[in-house]
């Protein structure tokens, strides 16, 4: 569910007509619905209400400070994978004790920053990492709560580039080596083992891979407790998928996911942490784009937009589908049209859809890419020297720009020419 609906023939974000935002802010532009973000966060929170838990929003999905503040004020924790994301969460007012630090490549500088400013736990991914963290924590005179990310060798049955729990993926410690790894970590100064971490991938539309992974985590918990380790928390990752096309069958909902967690690990008495991102942010955001031209090609028509792959890279990178709809609702019985939907970047890969049958539109019309809230603005760039896309947050009848579009002068001011040129 989202809060982008037609009302009197006009697509709205909650109570704000989207043509108004397009007129004032220009296009392309991202627009988020506060009501949708909060609803999806609360669905996860409710799904785990049967026991102690913390829903840590995956900041990498959509990291604007305003969005993080909205979720943090509602009680969400944060899952971060860089110092920059950590700083964003803190700038949004989220306390360190609600922030989990994940990722395979944490640097010494990042470790020192989060240890000096407060962290709930650090999820360890490799031997060199936990040895470095032990040294840093010892030098700083602190003890840091840690989990070890185990790789359960479970195929998440998702896109190759977002699967993270198979033995060939770069993430975590092989689960077969977990007991010896935990023994090594527990013996190091400055580290305090508090739990287990696992994450098998993103955009999962089947609950069975979760069951397989969590069953292995349950067995490992019993083994580690038998070895004398205090396993108080289970960080079970995120990854629950969303329907990118309205015609697709709906993936499992958070309540069903929560029941899987309860079935597989609920008997262990652990605090549960999860790290959803896409399902919270995905349907909470859209990308507005204007039609620049409708071009007749050889055997096809091209819908050329002012948005490009640098604004929304998911179709170019993953072959991802986004429904594309006009801001003005088509009249009943209106004939659709078929287009290759493309942007202005000088790459054939700058293609959003091929042979897409959709509402007929013309130059100057504005369309919306649905389900663009996750991995949209955060992955945007200034390729082809195109200004970064702005972001807008809507809350009821109120709306505000939460990241302005830079001017060309703003872009140029960030660069310098050395005196000797």
Determine which one of 250, 346, 397, 417 is catalytic.
346
Terminus-to-terminus CA distance in the chain, angstroms? 56
Residue 380: phi, psi to the nearest 5?
Answer: -75, 160
- Residue from 230, 228, 166 nearest 196 by CA: 230
* Cβ-proximal residues to 414 (8 Å cutoff; 6+ apart), any chain: none
CA 351 to the chain's CA centroid: 22
Is 346 a catalytic site residue?
Answer: yes
Cα–Cα distance for residue pair 406/90, rounded to 1 Å: 24
**From CA 188, how far away is CA 154, in angstroms rounded?**
29
The most distant pair of C-alpha atoms in the chain lies apart, rounded to whole Å, by: 71
| Catalytic residue numbers, as ranges | 346
């Amino acid at each position: 569910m989202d809060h982008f609906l037609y009302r009197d023939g006009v697509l709205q974000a909650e109570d704000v007509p989207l043509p108004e935002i397009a007129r004032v802010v220009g296009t392309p532009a991202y627009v988020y619905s506060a009501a949708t973000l909060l609803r999806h966060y609360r669905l996860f929170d409710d799904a785990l209400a049967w026991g102690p838990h913390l829903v840590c929003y995956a900041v990498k999905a959509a990291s604007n400070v305003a969005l993080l503040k909205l979720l943090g004020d509602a009680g969400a924790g944060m899952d971060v994978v860089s110092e920059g994301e950590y700083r964003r969460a803190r700038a949004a007012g989220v306390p360190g004790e609600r922030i989990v630090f994940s990722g395979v490549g944490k640097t010494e500088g990042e470790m020192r920053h989060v240890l000096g400013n407060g962290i709930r736990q650090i999820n360890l991914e490799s031997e060199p990492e936990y040895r470095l963290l032990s040294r840093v924590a010892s030098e700083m005179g602190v003890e840091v709560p840690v989990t070890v990310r185990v790789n359960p060798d479970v195929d998440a049955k998702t896109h190759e580039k977002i699967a993270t729990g198979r033995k060939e993926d770069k993430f975590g410690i092989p689960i077969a080596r977990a007991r010896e790894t935990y023994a090594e970590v527990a013996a190091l100064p400055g580290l305090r083992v508090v739990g287990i971490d696992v994450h098998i991938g993103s955009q999962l539309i089947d609950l069975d891979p979760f069951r397989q992974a969590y069953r292995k985590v349950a067995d490992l918990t019993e083994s580690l407790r038998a070895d004398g380790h205090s396993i108080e928390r289970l960080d079970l990752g995120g990854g629950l998928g969303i329907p990118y096309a309205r015609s697709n069958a709906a993936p499992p909902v958070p309540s069903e996911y929560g029941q899987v967690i309860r079935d597989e690990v609920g008997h262990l008495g652990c605090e549960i942490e999860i790290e959803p991102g896409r399902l919270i942010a995905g349907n909470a955001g859209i990308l507005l784009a204007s039609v620049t031209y409708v071009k007749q090609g050889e055997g096809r028509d091209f819908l050329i937009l002012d948005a490009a792959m640098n604004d929304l890279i998911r179709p170019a990178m993953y072959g991802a589908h986004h429904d594309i709809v006009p801001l003005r609702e088509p009249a009943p019985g209106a004939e659709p049209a078929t287009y290759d939907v493309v942007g202005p970047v000088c790459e054939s890969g700058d293609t959003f859809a091929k042979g897409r049958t959709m509402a007929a539109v013309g130059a100057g019309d504005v369309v919306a890419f649905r389900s663009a809230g996750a991995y949209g603005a955060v992955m945007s760039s200034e390729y082809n020297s195109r200004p970064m896309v702005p972001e807008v947050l809507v809350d009821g009848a109120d709306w505000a720009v939460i990241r302005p579009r830079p001017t060309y002068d703003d872009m140029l001011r960030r660069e310098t020419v050395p005196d000797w040129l």
